[in-house]
Amino acid sequence: MPKDDIQTDQNSAINTGLRPDALPRHSTPPLQSSRPPRCPPFVEITKSDQLLPYLEHVAQRPYNHGLNACWDLKEGERVMLRVDNWHSELTIEACKKILEKYKVKYEIKYIDRGPIPQWVGADEVDYYLFRTKELAEWMDMWEEEEKNQKYDKILMGYGGPVLAERFIKIQRMPFITPEILASPAHAMPIEVINAMDKWTWDRIRNAKRARITDPEGTDMSFTNHDEYW
């Protein structure tokens, strides 16, 4: 490696908190032959009861402004569960059972989002252009529900920003298919998830320069200007 490149790598290591010898140096993805990209193992779901252990964790997690699925269900609170025709009936049925177990007063609203699309990764760009408009409409709807105060909590949507906590708490309903819900990620203790988020956030906020790599070949860098924050 040329001397100038080595110095650049060392400076990057200092700015990102890494030792210079810890920076990855490879011309091809180093683990591609031994660890090819793959999906996580799917759990075969045939009935809604199989999904309840995962929803138990979601139901108990303390509310956290919609960053993760943390429903924090309380007996007697008024909950609107908004789903659409993209959601599996199995996941909807499991949600009904968990809402009933926690003795909330719930109402389910169904929305028709049109035909269920079959996507590839590149479609995400076009979808998020659409999502910008959709999120603005949701914000308006939440503001209206805030005035009405008919519900204490609204569970809806797959992701994105929510209203700052006021009377109504907004939480997510990202469990479109049984496979999405039946994931070890939803059984992970929220304390671990929050610790991971905080660890990552603190380093991003404090870094002058960041470099992101992964085994599949991602290698990108950016400067963290003060103006960003």
Contacts of 178 (CB under 8 A, 6+ apart): 43, 45, 50, 51, 88, 90, 91
Task: Output DSSP code: residue 207.
Answer: -
Furthest-apart CA atoms within the chain: distance in Å: 67
Q: What is the pLDDT of residues 21-49, one digit of tens each?
A: 555 566 776 666 776 666 666 778 999 99
Determine the Cα angle at 222 with ends 218 and 223, to 5°: 160
> CA 46 to CA 66: how far, in whole Å?
29
Task: Output DSSP code: residue 154.
Answer: E
Q: Which residue has the higher pLDDT, 119 or 142?
A: 142
Q: Are 84 and 157 in contact (CB under 8 A)?
A: no
Q: Are 173 and 95 in contact (CB under 8 A)?
A: yes
Q: Which residue has the higher pLDDT, 203 or 34?
A: 203
Best CA proximity match to 84, nearest among 114, 46, 123, 54? 114
Strand 78-84 relative to strand 105-111, pairing: parallel
> CA 134 to CA 204: how far, in whole Å?
29
Q: Per-residue pLDDT for 15 more than 60?
A: no
pLDDT at 40: 67
Best CA proximity match to 91, nearest among 173, 20, 208, 168? 173
- H/E element, 158: none
Q: Are 175 and 82 in contact (CB under 8 A)?
A: no
Task: Output DSSP code: residue 28.
Answer: S
Integer CA distances (angstroms), 224 to 16, 57, 200, 220, in order: 10, 36, 14, 13
Q: What is the pLDDT of residues 47-94, one digit of tens each?
A: 999 999 999 999 999 988 767 889 999 999 999 999 999 999 999 999
Q: Which residue has the higher pLDDT, 101 or 118?
A: 101
| Its pTM surpasses 0.85 | no
For the beta carbon of residue 82, count every other beta carbon within 10 angstroms.
17
Determine the Cα angle at 151 with ends 173 and 190, to 5°: 40
Best CA proximity match to 108, nearest among 117, 116, 118, 98? 98
